[in-house]
Amino acid sequence: MIENHKFVKIEKICKKILSAILFLFLVELILGGSGNVIIIGGLFIRKILFALSFIGLCLYVVFFARKITIHKLDWFVFGFLIVNIIWMTLIPYIQGTSVITAIDDGDTLFVLALYFPAVFLIRQGKLDWAKIIKQFLFITVMLAVWHIVMYVLESLDPGSYLAYYKSFLTAVTFGFFGGASPILGFGFVRIITTTSIYLVVAFFYLLGRKDKKVWHYISLFLLIAAIMCTLTRSLLISTMTGLIIFIIPVHKTMMGKKWLGKLILAAGICMVFVLINYLFIAPLSEQYVQNINEKYQSGEELNPSEMAVVKGLSDEQDDVFDRIESSTSETEFGNTLRSEQTVALLEKWKESPVIGFGYGSYAEDCVRSSLFPYMYESTVPMLLMKLGIAGLVLWVVLIAAMVYTAFKNKYKNKKPGEFMVWLISCIVFALSIQTNPFLFTFCGMSLIVFFCLDAEQQNPPKNNNATLTES
């Protein structure tokens, strides 16, 4: 009895330590931008927290989990990860691509390894999945607040990010801040980072919850407003597509009796935001930039915020003008960056259509970044070029296994609303990554882990007395 009591006490201590690590990892993953805010010992803090989370979960499984049960989806995820290692090592070697570059390109796939210890603990009731979702939604709402605040500040005082906010982050991280600017635009403001992808998923998960509390509607407002702040077509189109699917009456059960009110609220927010942006904020911002440009040309002294605007104009002018032209006259512009990528990637793919060229490869005729030549915004053509038809089929098989698992555990288990929320969230995620390099990032892969874990959820385990995320 005494030994058993000591064992329980040790488990509680380990549980608290691991819970803290997992929470910190979740916070950094969602609020940490591209993950290069802080560097410790030459490693990004995100990679350190990921390693600690994975090792901690595995050790908890080894010492405190009961008999492990393996489900079909586990085998599909395992097979997917193992086969992708072939495209990170053997295929690049055969095709003459640097294996080191290939691993650098595909290393975020190892985030999928988190699925295994997490799902084992969830099945045994030692990891509270419902509480993790609540934490995910709460932290993502905080991310939405950050988007909105940055949008308002940058609209009222263009250049404030470079002049003040970035300096603040550099100071609080003792000079280790290395994040890219989330501010894009020329005469208007766009707040966009790789973590912005979380906004659309959290919005639909929150929209699908049967909650009548005020915070629920406030959170919906903040999320949809933050999505609008990105002014990113893929995120906006995916959100509108998801809302259209939600409107179908057969799905009204997933949101309770207030489903129509939520949709009207979301649609109303979109319309109000667009009107405010284009009738008031955009003209003021354009006039502000024009005034600074005239002041600069006349030789007058500029404050730090104004100097940041001038620097931003010289650094981003060509890229932003391309975006403006492609968004306002797509048929005339014709040869956009994404269309060039698609053509170049498909031409490269034709040279090795079955197995592709492996991770780390790129189309020599179209390099998006000299530092990361293998990164592209056109996701499907990129996958075809790197993995070939065989690799693309592998992705399709994994997706089919996820959908089947979610359908079996949710729809057939008398939870059709939860299944539709899961499915629509997957759809908006897939649409969001089609024209942005979000997939092969910690954010993109963590969402795949999220969808896999949620697909595995059935009824709560009978013995749920000691969960890992208990406070």
Are 59 and 322 contacting, i.e. CB atoms less than 8 angstroms apart?
Answer: no
Residue at which a domain ends, from 309, 334, 359: 334
CA angle 307, 301, 152 (to 5 degrees): 40
> For tokens 């949620």, what's the residue?
454
Residue at which a domain ends, from 45, 64, 83: 64
Give pLDDT, residue 467.
Answer: 41
Helices and strands per DSSP (H, E), number in the chain:
20, 4
Asked whether residue 298 falls in the same domain as residue 181, the answer is yes
Are 141 and 172 contacting, i.e. CB atoms less than 8 angstroms apart?
Answer: no
Handedness of CA 17, 19, 20, 26 (dihedral sign): positive
**For residues 3 and 10, what is the distance between their CA atoms, to the nearest angstrom?**
11
Contacts of 19 (CB under 8 A, 6+ apart): 468, 469, 470
Residue 468 lies inside a defined structural domain of this protein: no
Handedness of CA 351, 354, 355, 361 (dihedral sign): positive
Residue 471 lies inside a defined structural domain of this protein: no
**For residues 468 and 471, what is the distance between their CA atoms, to the nearest angstrom?**
9
Per-residue tens of pLDDT for the chain, all 471 residues: 455 667 778 888 888 898 899 999 999 899 887 776 677 767 788 888 999 999 999 999 988 887 788 899 999 999 999 999 999 999 888 888 888 888 888 889 999 999 999 999 998 888 889 899 999 999 999 999 988 888 887 777 766 665 566 666 666 555 555 555 555 544 457 788 888 999 999 999 988 877 667 888 889 889 988 998 887 878 888 888 888 787 764 445 554 555 566 566 656 666 665 555 555 545 545 555 565 666 666 666 665 555 555 554 444 333 333 433 344 433 333 335 667 788 888 888 888 889 888 898 888 777 776 777 888 878 888 889 899 999 999 999 999 999 999 998 887 776 777 888 899 999 999 999 887 888 888 999 999 999 999 998 864 444 444 344 433
Asked whether residue 342 falls in the same domain as residue 304, the answer is no
Residue 42 lies inside a defined structural domain of this protein: yes
Tell me, what DSSP letter sits at residue 369?
A: -
The total number of structural domains that make up the chain: 3
Residue 57 lies inside a defined structural domain of this protein: yes
Are 96 and 39 contacting, i.e. CB atoms less than 8 angstroms apart?
Answer: no
Closest to 310 (Cα-Cα) out of 292, 327, 283, 324: 292
Asked whether residue 187 falls in the same domain as residue 235, the answer is yes
Give pLDDT, residue 273.
Answer: 57
Residue at which a domain ends, from 13, 44, 64: 64
Say how many CA atoms lie within 13 Å of 289 toward its Cβ: 22
Asked whether residue 329 falls in the same domain as residue 342, the answer is no
**For residues 122 and 126, what is the distance between their CA atoms, to the nearest angstrom?**
6
> For tokens 């597509």, what's the residue?
241
Asked whether residue 346 falls in the same domain as residue 361, the answer is yes
Give pLDDT, residue 212.
Answer: 67
Give pLDDT, residue 155.
Answer: 75
Query: b/e map of 282-297 (b: 16 or more CB within 10 Å)?
Result: beebeebbeebeeebe
Give pLDDT, residue 372.
Answer: 76
Are 447 and 201 contacting, i.e. CB atoms less than 8 angstroms apart?
Answer: yes
φ, ψ (nearest 5 deg) of residue 39: -120, 125
- Domain encompassing residue 294: 133-334
Tell me, what DSSP letter sits at residue 211?
A: -
Asked whether residue 174 falls in the same domain as residue 308, the answer is yes
Cβ neighbours, 10 Å, residue 415: 19
Asked whether residue 209 falls in the same domain as residue 326, the answer is yes
Give pLDDT, residue 57.
Answer: 93
**For residues 397 and 254, what is the distance between their CA atoms, to the nearest angstrom?**
27
**For residues 318 and 333, what is the distance between their CA atoms, to the nearest angstrom?**
14
Are 115 and 405 contacting, i.e. CB atoms less than 8 angstroms apart?
Answer: no
Are 136 and 144 contacting, i.e. CB atoms less than 8 angstroms apart?
Answer: no
Asked whether residue 255 falls in the same domain as residue 275, the answer is yes
Asked whether residue 146 falls in the same domain as residue 259, the answer is yes
